[in-house]
């Protein structure tokens, strides 16, 4: 399978569904060999089969990015299997509802652990190998919620604001080594992200939001990921905002 990313190796977290799954498929179609990380091993196995059936190369690395050792091991196992890591896509993410007063702090902590710290762990582990090979791409999936706050989804916005800050600091840290960092900010995108919101009413509202007519498809976010990774090495597109055309909010 030859393409824009022929010969490169990508690790995608959150690869069992949504943007992560779509990114893995698009990267493989563009010629990259892909390592797939997520908690749901059965879905990863199915995705590996789909990619290999079309001539691609993929491995499944089941694990939870909240576990620092497991997150870093995903990077290490990618390098051990494929010999390098050129692209890291941090797509693992969760959303929960709730304000600050009387919040479920365990839920709040889980959102921060997955969306911020899970990304920190894989980024930290990938820097060394990318430096050694002379460069790489780190693409962190943020959100439009990193630009504006909805009080009822406080933890989600907090995690994504922090993710943007971490990503920009990382860009400044590693750009001199040929490592590019991109923050990708999707708006309403048709995925399963809302399915685990604990409040039933807010779950339904968020499901309607991401599933509305005109919502962005996960495959369209994946196309942007391939675009970023395929750019000339001296060009770093560091922020991409993708929203439905019908979204006229500021």
Spatial CA neighbour of 167 closest among 184, 180, 183, 151: 183
Token duo for residue 100: 């600050």
Angle at the Cα of 171 from the Cα atoms of 139 and 189, rounded to 5 degrees: 30
Is 121 a known active-site residue? no
Which residue is catalytic, options 108, 121, 156, 177? Answer: 156
With b for 16 or more beta-carbon neighbours within 10 A and e for fewer, the 197-228 pattern comes to beeeebbeebeeebeeeebbebebbbbbbbeb
227-235 contacts at long range (C-beta below 8 A, 24 or more positions apart): 228/137, 228/139, 228/180, 228/182, 228/184, 229/4, 229/5, 229/8, 229/10, 229/27, 229/30, 229/32, 229/86, 229/87, 229/137, 229/139, 230/4, 230/5, 230/30, 233/135, 233/178, 233/180
Residues designated catalytic: 156
């Amino acid at each position: 399978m030859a393409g824009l990313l022929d010969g490169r190796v990508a690790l995608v977290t959150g690869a069992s569904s949504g943007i992560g799954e779509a990114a893995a498929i698009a990267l493989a179609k563009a010629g990259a060999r892909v390592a797939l990380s997520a908690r749901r091993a059965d879905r990863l196995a199915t995705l590996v089969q789909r990619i290999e059936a079309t001539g691609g190369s993929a491995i499944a690395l089941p694990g939870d990015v909240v576990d620092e050792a497991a997150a870093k091991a995903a990077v290490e196992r990618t390098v051990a299997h494929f010999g390098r890591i050129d692209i890291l896509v941090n797509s693992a993410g969760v959303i929960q509802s709730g304000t600050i007063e009387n919040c479920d702090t365990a839920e709040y902590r889980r959102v921060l652990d997955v969306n911020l710290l899970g990304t920190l762990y894989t980024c930290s582990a990938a820097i060394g190998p990318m430096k050694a090979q002379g460069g790489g791409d780190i693409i962190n999936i943020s959100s439009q919620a990193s630009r504006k706050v909805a009080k009822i989804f406080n933890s989600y916005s907090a995690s994504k604001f922090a993710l943007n800050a971490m990503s920009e600091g990382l860009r400044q840290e590693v750009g001199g080594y040929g490592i590019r960092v991109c923050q990708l900010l999707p708006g309403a995108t048709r995925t399963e992200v809302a399915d685990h919101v604990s409040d039933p009413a807010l779950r339904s509202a968020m499901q309607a939001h991401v599933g509305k007519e005109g919502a962005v498809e996960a495959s369209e976010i994946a196309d942007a990921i391939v675009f970023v990774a395929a750019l000339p090495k001296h060009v770093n597109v560091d922020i991409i905002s993708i929203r439905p055309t019908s979204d006229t909010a500021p």
